[in-house]
A and B are shown apart, each in its own frame.
Chain A
Amino acid sequence: MAQIAVIAKENYPLYIRSTPMENELKFHYMVHTSLDVVDEKISAMGKALVDQRELYLGLLYPTEDYKVYGYVTNSKVKFVMVVDSSNTALRDNEIRSMFRKLHNSYTDVMCNPFYNPGDRIQSRAFDNMVTSMMIQVC
């Protein structure tokens, strides 16, 4: 796992965490560009399919080094995951489950009355969960 990012509805980041091995800026750019793809996928669904739209968007686009996966919630909060391409052992189901865990943890963060939606996520529980996920993948 190279990076996990949580992006708000207005397309600003709520939470970004990368494995600190490489140039993080590059990852930030990748996440940013992936937002366009996310928007495209969402709009492609059309209004009629709002209910049926899957939260998991799947592989957004593969680069030679990395694969980018996306997931969007009903409140238009997006989760973006950048994974090393060399990590071939990672299957789609696992990615889905990881997104689900992310979503659950994000909901927990929202439940905290001291968290204002739109703030950066500073929850230790969320951090721990993300860390464990990244460790599990790498």
Chain B
Amino acid sequence: METPAGGCCGSGPPLLLSEGEQQCYSELFARCAGAVSGAPGPGPPEAARVASGSATAAAGPVADLFRASQLPAETLHQITELCGAKRVGYFGPTQFYVALKLIAAAQSGLPVRIESIKCELPLPRFMMSKNDSEVRFGNSAELHGSKVPIPYLTTEKNSFKRMDDEEKQQETQSPTKSPLASPPSSPPHYQRVPLNHGYSKLRSGTEQMHPAPYEGRQPLVQSEVSSSGGPGAKPLRHQASLIRSFSVERELQDNNSSYPDEPWRITEEQREYYVNQFRSLQPDPSSFISGSVAKNFFTKSKLSIPELSYIWELSDADCDGALTLPEFCAAFHLIVARKNGYPLPEGLPPTLQPEYLQAAFPKPKWECALFDSYSESVPTNQQARELNRTEKTSVKDMTDFPVPTQDVTGDDKQVLKSTLNEVLPKDVPEDPVIPKDSNSLKARPRSRSYSSTSIEEAMKRGEDPPTPPPRPQKTHSRASSLDLNKVFQPSVPATKSGLLPPPPALPPRPCPSQGLANNSPQARSVLPLALSEQVSEAELPPQLNRAPSQAAESSPAKKDIPYSQPPSKPIRRKLRPESQPTESQEPSTAVGGPASGTSVKPHPTVQKQSSKQKKAIQTAIRKNKEANAVLARLNSELQQQLKEVHQERIALENQLEQLRPVTVL
């Protein structure tokens, strides 16, 4: 910071403002000062200058204005310090203008430094609360040198045009002299020096009055390019009260504000684009992107590695080496900003915090489906608006874009869960884990191992898509068949491709296999059809003598299984007591059922079963004996598998031993 040691001579180079800036600043200043003291002439700049030489902006309106800028309290504090208000003790025009300029700089994402105001800046944006100021702001007609405050809202085309008119009048006055020259506030003079550079540039280009960036939402590129010479910030004093009010107001306004050209705020189309990219890397929007995947992806952006490293540091809030969707969006946004020339911030801006992003943009899955039609290019505003409309209709009240609630992750998690439940039931186990984990990790409890295991669990569960959870329910109803279930379990995944995970993934094995295996024997014992279907699915048939026939039988009725299973449950139970005496003779489930009964429908089968109980039992005995043989074979095979697994385990343990840190260096 250029704290001028000898802050002498207000006669230093005057603060050069563009005509537009001059107008805006002076009017703002006048408004603030005039609101209380009514002294300064708010009219033409020269009048303001003259009068403002002795005028000071009052605390109240100044505080309001600063609050309306929606900058964080610390930033405003910095601004007030920088503009010299503290030093001088009051908010003279100099300080006011410098502060306005600093506010504009801060809102553009530049660090709050004197150097920042050297460059061209857009107008600082002040979101006034509903009161009359907005009304006045929006009115272009009134602006002729009157006290009407300058419209700072997004619909500011008018203001610019207005200022164009004023420019001619002010040209003679504005360039050299600014009110800043007069006040005795010496400290700010050092600020005038850099400001001169900036403003001389600004003055030269009247085309800076382009209001382009202020309409609707636009990509960062546009906003950067069109940063016109915005009027500076009004130097405002009274930091203590201001800061308090800032933080409060800012929070309130953050919810409702829509500053499209604020560089650290993600617009909706940007958000959609990021989500698309996320999905291309990781289909599940509620899961993580691993570090290596993200690294490869971000390296394509051709930023330097240190910069990417820094961006990662900023965006990976929980430092777990993986990016959740909000973290990914933040990182992507930072990369985009950097590529567009914005310097990287010192810390993660509040609008890029994961909690904020999650609250602002809940991410239902089907919403993403809509984006798939998008190309990689950033869509226009209109498209975005249309999409938003369609989103809103399709997603019902899932999207909460316009008014992100600050209930942050709690609601969001539920939202996520419910949407995902609807769309992908199998992902349910992952969702509660992941959002919870991300949140708990954000608190940085230093539970690295916890986070990694959760990721692994999620990934393990991800291996099970082919075997939906519902299945296990049907299997547990038969006590007699449980043994077979367990016996068949390992063989099921073994035979089924993709279901035989390597040893580390052992835990998931029992679930799907149990489901399948349980189904098969149970169905056999009670319902020939259901059982045969299960058997065929489990690919046990190949191991069974009756496999082909069963497969044939089961195939047609395969689809009936899901429906047959629930109704079969009570039926099974009914049959159980009946079959129990027979089951004593049948150590294994009645495998003979399917072979004997070639009926296709489970319901009629069940009824017939009860009537044909004895026949079925007899045949079942026969079949059971055959099944015994088969099972014995299975047993041997499983034993073999067990041995292999043991060997693998031993090998892994050996590896582990070798990898242990060697104590001798």
- Residue among A47, A53, A74, A108 with most chain B CB within 10 A: A108
User: Does A29 reach chain B (CB closer than 8 Å)?
Assistant: no
The docked-state distance in angstroms from the alpha carbon of A54 to that of B371 is 53
Asked if B661 and A112 sit within 8 Å, CB to CB, the answer is: no
User: Quick one: which of A45, A50, A76, A111 contacts B291, CB cutoff 8 A?
Assistant: A111
- Are B661 and A122 in contact, CB atoms less than 8 angstroms apart? no
Is A46 engaged at the interface, CB distance under 8 Å to the other chain? yes
**Cα-based distance from A122 to B309 in the complex (angstroms):** 9
Q: Would A114 and B664 count as touching, CB distance under 8 A?
A: no
> What is the CB-to-nearest-CB distance from B331 to chain A, in angstroms, rounded to a whole number?
11
User: Smallest Cβ distance from B516 to chain A, in angstroms?
Assistant: 39
Interface membership of A115, Cβ < 8 A: yes
Residue with the highest number of chain A CB atoms closer than 10 Å, among B294, B298, B309, B662: B309
Contact partners of A111 in chain B: CB under 8 A: 291, 316, 319-321
User: Which residues 302-317 in B have Cβ within 8 Å of A in the complex?
Assistant: 305-306, 308-310, 312-313, 316
What CA separation (Å) do A64 and B72 show in the bound complex?
49
Considering the complex, which residues of chain A in the window 113-132 have a beta carbon less than 8 Å from any beta carbon of chain B? Answer: 113-115, 122-125
Q: Hey, what's the 0/1 contact readout for A36-73 against B, CB within 8 Å counting as 1?
A: 00010011011101100100000000000000000000
Q: Is the CB of A45 within 8 A of B663?
A: yes
Which residue of A has the minimal Cβ distance to B292?
Answer: A113
CB contacts (< 8 Å) of A43 on chain B: these are 663-665
Task: Report chain A residues within 8 Å CB of B300.
Answer: none
Q: How far is the CA of A115 from the CA of B310 in the complex (A)?
A: 10
A107 part of interface (Cβ distance < 8 Å): yes
Cross-chain contact of B312 among A42, A75, A76, A114 (Cβ < 8 A) = A114
Q: Is A97 an interface residue (CB 8 A)?
A: no
> Is A115 touching B661 in the complex (CB atoms < 8 A)?
no
What's the least CB distance linking B566 to chain A, in Å? 47
Please tell me which one of the listed residues A46, A114, A124, A125 contacts residue B663 in the complex, with CB atoms under 8 A apart. A46
> Is A87 in contact with chain B by the CB < 8 A criterion?
no
Chain B residues whose CB sits within 8 angstroms of the CB of A114 once the complex forms: 295, 298, 305, 308-309, 312
A73 closest partner in B (C-beta)? B661
Q: What's the minimum C-beta distance from B658 to chain A, rounded to whole angstroms?
A: 13
Contact residues in A for B305 (Cβ distance below 8 Å): 114
B649 at the A/B interface (Cβ < 8 Å)? no
Q: What A residues does B312 contact at CB under 8 A?
A: 112-114
Q: A124 to B310, Cβ gap below 8 A?
A: yes
Partner of B321, one of A75, A113, A122: A113
Q: Which chain B residue has the least Cβ–Cβ distance from A47? A: B663
Tell me, in angstroms, the Cα distance from A108 to B319 when the chains sit together: 6
Distance between Cα atoms of A29 and B292 in the complex (Å) = 37
Residues of A within 8 A of B320 (CB): 111
| A50→B661 contact, CB < 8 A | yes
- Cβ-defined contact, B446 with A124, below 8 A: no
B244 in contact (CB, < 8 A): no
With A43-B664, A50-B661 already in contact, the answer to whether A125 and B321 are too (CB < 8 A) is no
A47 touches B664 (CB 8 A): yes
Distance in angstroms between the alpha carbons of A108 and B665 in the assembled complex: 26
**Assuming the A-B contacts A122-B306, A123-B309, A124-B310, are A112 and B316 also in contact, with contact meaning beta carbons closer than 8 angstroms in the complex?**
yes
Are B663 and A107 in contact (CB-based, < 8 A)?
no
Chain B, Cβ-Cβ closest to A114: B309
Judging by beta carbons under 8 Å apart, are B306 and A76 in contact?
no
- Is the CB of B614 closer than 8 A to any CB of chain A? no
B130 CB, nearest partner CB in chain A, Å: 41
Q: Which residue of B lies closest to A51 (CB)?
A: B660
Q: How far is the CB of A101 from chain B (nearest CB, A)?
A: 11
- Mask of B359-386 contacts with A, CB within 8 angstroms, 1/0: 0000000000000000000000000000
Asked if B448 is an interface residue, CB under 8 A from chain A, the answer is yes
User: Which residues of B lie under 8 Å from residue A124 when comparing CB positions?
Assistant: 310, 313
Tell whether, in the assembled complex, residue B664 and residue A112 are in contact, meaning their CB atoms are under 8 Å apart. no
Residue on A with the closest CB to B308? Answer: A114
Residue of B nearest to A112 (CB): B312
In the complex, what residue of chain A is closest to B665 when comparing beta carbons? A39
- For B664, the chain A residues whose CB sits under 8 A away are 43, 47
Which of chain A's residues 99-113 have a Cβ closer than 8 Å to chain B? 104, 107-108, 111-113
Please give, as numbers and ranges, the residues of chain B lying within 8 Å of A74 by CB-CB distance.
661
Min Cβ gap A14→B in Å is 14
**Minimum CB–CB distance for B278 against chain A, Å:** 16
Interface centre among B305, B310, B319, B446 (most CB of A within 10 A): B319
Contacts A111-B319, A112-B309, A112-B316 given: A42-B665 contact, CB under 8 Å?
yes
A55 to B294, CA, bound (A): 32
CB of A107 within 8 A of CB of B309, answer no
- When distances are taken between beta carbons in the complex, the residues of chain A under 8 Å from B660 are 50
B293-344 residues with Cβ-Cβ distance < 8 A to A are 294-295, 298, 305-306, 308-310, 312-313, 316, 319-321
Bound-state CA distance A115–B319 (Å) is: 13
Contact flags B219-243 to A (C-beta < 8 A → 1, else 0): 0000000000000000000000000
Task: A39-B665, A112-B321 are known; give 14 further A-B pairs, CB within 8 A.
Answer: A42-B663, A43-B664, A43-B665, A47-B662, A50-B661, A50-B663, A75-B661, A107-B319, A112-B291, A112-B309, A113-B294, A113-B295, A114-B309, A123-B310
A-B contact pairs, 16 of them (CB 8 A): A42-B665, A45-B663, A50-B661, A76-B665, A108-B313, A108-B319, A111-B291, A111-B320, A111-B321, A112-B309, A112-B312, A112-B321, A113-B321, A114-B295, A123-B309, A123-B313
